Amino acid sequence: MLPVVTAGLTHGIALVSMLFVDPGTPVLMPNPCWGNYAAIFGRVQGADLRAWRLLRAQRGPQGWLDIDALATALGRLSRPSLLVLNFPSNPLGYSPTPAEVDRLIDCISNTPVPLVVVCDDAYQGMSWEPEIYPHSLFHRLAALPADRVLAVKIDGATKELFYFGGRVGFLTCGAAGSAALVLEEKTRAAARASISSASATAQAVLAQALRDPDLPAQQNQVRGRLRDRYRILKRCMQDAGLVARPFNSGMFAVIDVPGDPETLRQALLADGIGVVSLSEIGALRLSYGSLASADIPPLVQSIARHLRGVLVEST
């Protein structure tokens, strides 16, 4: 199917929800995941939200990805369902290795029910370690039997081209022939019914950028800056004894905290540090995407100091 233009990735995900989710449709989301999935699939569409733990607490012999949790969640399904995948992940900043991808695809191919698998590729290309599987999982999923799995790719310029305000995204279904034509028609109809069409001006700017032979070099330059920040953050955290959940890509890191993360978030905010509290998993999410390299060491020291304070209080 040809990609259909959406008004950013959020709109693409909302279209997926319009097309494939009814009230009560099971939607399997990674835990933790981007908070907007619950709003789009759950609150707006009334889906039956279910979670599978994305990463193990300890690295297993096969890696960090908790494929057993996914297999268990899939095994509980008894009607056509939707599965959301998001690598590099928000909030964890994790991407799988090729071996983990093989096991993930194998697990999904054994689905007991027909499955729509959504690849939210918002942060595609932000891979900071050589062992990461470098492609979207969409192409592997689209090769699975069409009567069991329909792969849907959600991507766009927001983060892949750092065109944050542009609001240009794409929805692509892994289908061919008459199925592709029908899915394209329905997707275009759902876009028309929701926003009419994405901004022509933003699309024209993007089309011009895509024709620029210098674009890959510009993308690499920005990605290089992000990779530097990632490396500085990793080093500073190690020096400060600050332990994060496994992260190797994207622009986020998640730190488990004792006590209420929201209280800690407020305390950090009073120091001029903005983080997101993830109360449901007792953690803070740090974003290094727009953090100047020079600000990373004092930021990490400040978080470490606050965390030591919380630890002292709780003992």
The site string for ligand PLP over 16-45 (x = CB under 6 A, - otherwise) reads ------------------x-----------
Does 126 bind ligand PLP (CB under 6 A)? Our answer is no
Q: Judged by CB, which is closer to ligand PLP: 10, or 249?
A: 10
Q: Judged by CB, which is closer to ligand PLP: 66, or 160?
A: 160
Q: Judged by CB, which is closer to ligand PLP: 25, or 90?
A: 90
End-to-end Cα separation, the chain, in angstroms:
58
Does 118 bind ligand PLP (CB under 6 A)? Our answer is no
Does 155 bind ligand PLP (CB under 6 A)? Our answer is no
Record the tokens describing residue 267, joined without a space.
Answer: 């305390």
Interatomic CA distance for residues 21 and 46, integer angstroms: 8
How near is the Cβ of 258 to ligand PLP at its closest, in Å?
27
Residue in 18, 73, 122, 226 binding ligand PLP, rule: CB under 6 A: 122
Q: Give the interface size with ligand PLP as a residue count (CB under 6 A).
A: 11
Residue in 26, 93, 96, 156 binding ligand PLP, rule: CB under 6 A: 156
Site stretch for ligand PLP (CB under 6 A), options 4-12, 207-215, 220-228, 264-272: 4-12
Residue in 8, 30, 125, 261 binding ligand PLP, rule: CB under 6 A: 8
Interface positions, 88-117, toward ligand PLP (CB under 6 A) = 90
How near is the Cβ of 149 to ligand PLP at its closest, in Å?
21
Classify strands 48-53 and 276-278 as parallel, antiparallel or unpaired.
unpaired
Site stretch for ligand PLP (CB under 6 A), options 3-11, 50-58, 105-113, 135-143: 3-11
Query: For 249, phi and psi rounded to 5 degrees?
Result: -165, 175
Does 9 bind ligand PLP (CB under 6 A)? Our answer is yes
**Number of neighbours of residue 305 by Cβ within 10 angstroms:** 11
The site string for ligand PLP over 285-304 (x = CB under 6 A, - otherwise) reads --------------------
**Number of neighbours of residue 252 by Cβ within 10 angstroms:** 22
Does 160 bind ligand PLP (CB under 6 A)? Our answer is no
Site stretch for ligand PLP (CB under 6 A), options 2-10, 95-103, 126-134, 220-228: 2-10
How near is the Cβ of 10 to ligand PLP at its closest, in Å?
3
Q: Which residues bind ligand PLP (CB under 6 A)?
A: 8-10, 34, 86, 90, 120, 122, 156, 158, 169
